[in-house]
Amino acid sequence: MGLAPEDRDLSDELVLTYLRERHEEWLGLYRTRVEQASSPRERVLAVFDAYLDHAEFTYQQHGFRGCGLLNAAAELPIGAPGRDLVRRHKEEVESLLVRHLAELGAAPNQSAAIGEQLAFLMEGAMARAGLEGDATRLRRARSLAGALVDSLPLGTPTSDPSS
């Protein structure tokens, strides 16, 4: 026995509300971290720090179970509006990494490629951290991201953090 159409609509809206709230929650953590950053390198790592903050503080009482957005998306059928919202969130996170890499002086194609790799690193770390119930993998991913950024052959950094 399935849900009536009006119940499905309500259920879909509840899921979308949850996903939007998690997105805004993460953006708030990110904004706090990026405001504290004093260099493009620190802004790249602010993305990782926001995920660490999310893991370490948001779920202290119940244990960390990974990315709430991906956990929710895994339960949704293909084509569900919630899955699209989660995809857009992940694309936004990756675009933040790309932007901060460009600020650091990476060429556009280098920013895009390394930004994608850092996003993969972060998502994998989130998945493992969720399975293991703590943020150790995220801390390791942040450390690896810092080492990768430090090893990049870079050009001239951009002066405008919003470019």
Name the one residue in this structure whose structure tokens are 């470019």: 163
- Tell me whether residue 59 is in a domain: yes
Res 162 pLDDT > 60: no
Integer Cα distance of 127 and 29 in angstroms: 19
For position 163, what pLDDT does the model report? Answer: 46
Q: What is the CATH number of the domain that holds 135?
A: 1.10.357.10
Any domain includes 157:
no
- pLDDT score of 60 more than 90: no
Domain enclosing residue 45, as ranges: 5-151
Give domain status of residue 21, yes or no: yes
Domain count, the chain: 1
Indicate whether 19 belongs to any domain: yes
Is residue 125 a part of any domain in this protein? yes
The pTM for the full model equals: 0.86
Give the residue among 35, 16, 17 at the shortest CA–CA distance from 27: 35
In a domain, 158, yes or no: no
Nearest alpha-carbon partner for 12 in 88, 77, 90: 77
- What is the per-residue pLDDT across 85-129, written as a single tens digit (0 to 9) for each? 999 999 999 999 999 999 999 988 999 999 999 999 999 999 999
Virtual CA dihedral for 50, 41, 114, 105, nearest 10 degrees?
A: 140
- Asked whether residue 160 is assigned to any structural domain, the reply reads no
Cα maximum dimension of the chain = 62
Residue 1 has pLDDT above 80, yes or no: no
Asked if the structure places residue 161 within a domain, the reply is no
The confidence band for 63, taking pLDDT boundaries of 50, 70 and 90, is confident
